[in-house]
Amino acid sequence: MARVPARYGADVSPRATVDDIHTTARAMPHVSVLRPERNPVYQVGGKSFVFFRTPRPDAVDPDTGERYDDVIVIWVASEGDKQALLQDERLPFFTTPHFDGHASVLLRASRIGEMARDELVEIVQEAWLAQASARRRRAWLDARGLAD
C-alpha cells in the first residue's frame, strides 16, 4: 500500500472532509463519475475505486438499527492492505460481512473528520492505483518519481 509517500499521523494536515474525497478522486487521470449528483461512483477504466453507497441492511446503527446513509466504499490493493486499515485504531474504517473477501474498506462520511486530510488523500490515490491499469498506474507513479 505504501507507494504514495506516507504522511500518516502528521499533525500539520487539516482534518479530512467529504469534499477531499471528491476533489482527490476527480483529480486522478482517466476518471469517470457515475451518478455525480447523488451517491457518485468514481471509476478508472470502468473499475470503481470510490463508491458512495445507498443505505443497505449490512451497515446499521447498533443502537437504533437504522441503516447508515453515509457509507463510502474505498477500494484497496489487497486483503493485507484492508486489514492494515481496519486494524489501525486511529482510522475510522470498518467492514461488514457483506464485504468479506472484497478488497475494500468502508468509511462513514460523518466520521471522516477523524482523519487527517493528507492520509485520506493518500488512501484515495491508493484506491485509484489499485484499480487502474498497469500502464496508467506506471505513468502516474513515474510522473511523481515513485516506484511501482
pLDDT tens per residue across span 78-99: 999 999 999 999 999 999 999 9
pLDDT in tens, 97-123: 999 999 999 999 999 999 999 999 999
pTM: 0.89
Name every residue whose Cβ is closer than 8 Å to that of residue 49 and which is 6 or more positions away in sequence. 25, 42, 43, 74, 75, 124, 127, 128, 130, 131, 132
Confidence band for 11, pLDDT divided at 50, 70 and 90: low
Give residue 148's pLDDT: 66
What's the total number of domains in the chain? 1
Can you tell me the distance from the alpha carbon of 148 to that of 126, in angstroms, rounded to the nearest whole number? 12
Residue 1 belongs to a domain? no
CATH number of residue 115's parent domain: 3.90.1150.30
Segments forming the whole domain that contains residue 77: 18-138
Domain assignment present for residue 146? The answer is no
Note whether residue 11 is domain-resident: no
Q: pLDDT by residue (tens digit) across 65-76?
A: 999 999 999 999
The answer to the question of residue 63 being in a domain is: yes
* 94 assigned to some structural domain: yes
From the list 120, 122, 124, 102, the residue with the least C-alpha distance to 112 is: 120
Give me the amino acid identity at 106: L
Q: Which amino acid is at 69?
A: D
Query: Which residues, at least 6 apart from 136, have a Cβ–Cβ distance to it below 8 Å?
Result: 29, 30, 44, 45
> 5 pLDDT exceeds 80?
no
